[in-house]
């Protein structure tokens, strides 16, 4: 405990010195009230993590508050006026549908304020892609909504959080990012929510968009966007989660050689829908085909392969729906939202071709 207090104190002193040095170097040239207002919604993750000074592993994610994170990056003050909201402070594996709904509700409410230019969400990288895709389908604004995080805790040597946070605020404050759907800013690159995924458990270049690629770059605070998301999002999305407390339950099952088909029956009994991470183009064993063909709940077929496409022609069971290029975890989000509207096969098939 004493050791933890010492570590946090050392970190705070370090931040204070950095802040003072930076203020002395840059001066305070900005007139208050003339900058765009960006709301920072903090949820935890490694970016708010604290560990042994200098070390990059064995830390506690979701420890520092939004205020402390912002205090560590005084350069943000030159870019935007910030309102900080601590939504939760968790390892992102503990993010829940309830937290997603709170984020969507908060953004939708604050986006109506003409003073607010955009939003930044600090988030753990493990499930960042899921939160980003959920918000991409549920926020009703064209104002920038940008997620960021880090791979190294705040107390690590060469922590990547401060620059990521700075760049995320620059994107959220930028006109370039308006109408682009929910974005992720990480290690100088800008990704769109539908295609972004975590690809490394250790590298600071942990985020990728696979075949789709990044859609832009941030460099010294300048924002360059080159591509636009092609699928429906934000204002064009048909999903309305206002007033909801929870979402339908969808389970994701991963096929591997000899995988027990009883898992399917168990999951189907306890879920409103299933997503299968099949092998190759969404395939699985005869034993799984037999059980899946009999299931009475919606079943979406995705792949355990990162890049690729599942089309109707690939499906081994007639009662299933192809996930298109959505990963299993993102297909689960689209299915959870879809089930709020309609569970028919026709509706779901058409939906997975549009989002």
Where does this chain bind ligand ASP (CB under 6 A)? 45-46, 61, 91-92, 124-126, 149, 151
Smallest gap from residue 149 Cβ to ligand ASP (A): 5
Nearer to ligand ASP, 79 or 121 (CB): 121
CA distances from 87 to 43, 254, 350 (A): 5, 31, 34
Residue 53 structure tokens: 């000074």
Smallest gap from residue 326 Cβ to ligand ASP (A): 21
Smallest gap from residue 93 Cβ to ligand ASP (A): 6
Residue with the shortest CB distance to ligand ASP: 124
Nearer to ligand ASP, 124 or 144 (CB): 124
Number of neighbours of residue 113 by Cβ within 10 angstroms = 12
Smallest gap from residue 104 Cβ to ligand ASP (A): 20
CA distances from 153 to 11, 71, 84, 177 (A): 11, 16, 20, 27
Nearer to ligand ASP, 203 or 222 (CB): 203
Spatial separation of the C-alpha atoms in residues 353 and 349, rounded to whole Å: 7
With vertex at residue 187, the alpha carbon angle to CA 27 and CA 73, rounded to the nearest 5 degrees, is: 25
Nearer to ligand ASP, 91 or 251 (CB): 91
Give the pairing of strands 37-44 and 81-90: parallel
Nearer to ligand ASP, 204 or 287 (CB): 204
Spatial separation of the C-alpha atoms in residues 102 and 264, rounded to whole Å: 31
Smallest gap from residue 11 Cβ to ligand ASP (A): 17
Spatial separation of the C-alpha atoms in residues 241 and 262, rounded to whole Å: 33
Residue 59 structure tokens: 């830390």
Spatial separation of the C-alpha atoms in residues 346 and 199, rounded to whole Å: 33
Smallest gap from residue 135 Cβ to ligand ASP (A): 16
Exactly one of 10, 26, 43, 46 is catalytic; which is it?
A: 46
Q: Tell me the sheet residues that pair with 299.
A: 274, 320
3-state secondary structure of 158: coil
| DSSP run (H or E) holding 104 | helix 97-111
Nearer to ligand ASP, 63 or 141 (CB): 63
- Our answer to whether residue 148 is catalytic in this structure is no
User: Which residue numbers are catalytic?
Assistant: 46
């Amino acid at each position: 405990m004493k050791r933890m207090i010492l570590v946090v104190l050392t970190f705070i002193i370090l931040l204070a010195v950095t802040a003072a040095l930076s203020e002395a170097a840059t001066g305070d040239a900005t007139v208050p009230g003339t900058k765009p207002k960006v709301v920072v919604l903090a949820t935890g993750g490694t970016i708010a993590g604290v560990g042994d000074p200098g070390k990059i592993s064995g830390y506690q994610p979701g420890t520092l508050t939004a205020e402390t994170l912002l205090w560590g990056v005084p350069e943000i003050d030159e870019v935007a006026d910030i309102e900080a909201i601590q939504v939760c402070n968790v390892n992102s594996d503990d993010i829940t549908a309830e937290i997603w709904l709170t984020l969507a509700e908060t953004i939708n409410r604050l986006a109506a304020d003409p003073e607010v230019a955009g939003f930044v969400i600090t988030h753990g990288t493990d499930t960042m892609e899921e939160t980003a895709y959920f918000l991409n389908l549920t926020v009703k604004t064209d104002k920038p909504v940008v997620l960021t995080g880090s791979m190294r805790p705040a107390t690590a040597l060469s922590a990547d959080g401060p620059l990521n946070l700075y760049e995320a605020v620059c994107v959220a404050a930028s006109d370039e990012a308006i109408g682009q759907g929910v974005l992720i800013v990480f290690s100088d690159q800008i990704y769109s929510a539908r295609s972004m995924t975590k690809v490394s458990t250790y590298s600071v270049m942990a985020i990728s968009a696979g075949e789709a690629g990044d859609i832009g770059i941030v460099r010294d605070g300048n924002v360059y966007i080159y591509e636009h998301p092609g699928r429906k999002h934000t204002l064009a999305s048909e999903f309305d989660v206002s007033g909801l407390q929870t979402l339908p339950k969808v389970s994701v099952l991963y096929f591997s050689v000899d995988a027990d088909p009883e898992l399917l029956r168990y999951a189907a009994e306890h879920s409103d829908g299933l997503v299968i991470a099949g092998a190759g183009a969404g395939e699985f064993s005869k034993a799984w085909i037999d059980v899946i063909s009999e299931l009475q709940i919606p079943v979406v077929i995705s792949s355990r392969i990162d890049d690729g496409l599942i089309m109707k022609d690939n499906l081994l069971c007639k009662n299933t729906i192809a996930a298109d290029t959505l990963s299993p975890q993102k297909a689960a989000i689209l299915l959870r939202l879809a089930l709020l509207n309609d569970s028919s096969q026709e509706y779901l098939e058409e939906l997975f071709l549009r989002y």
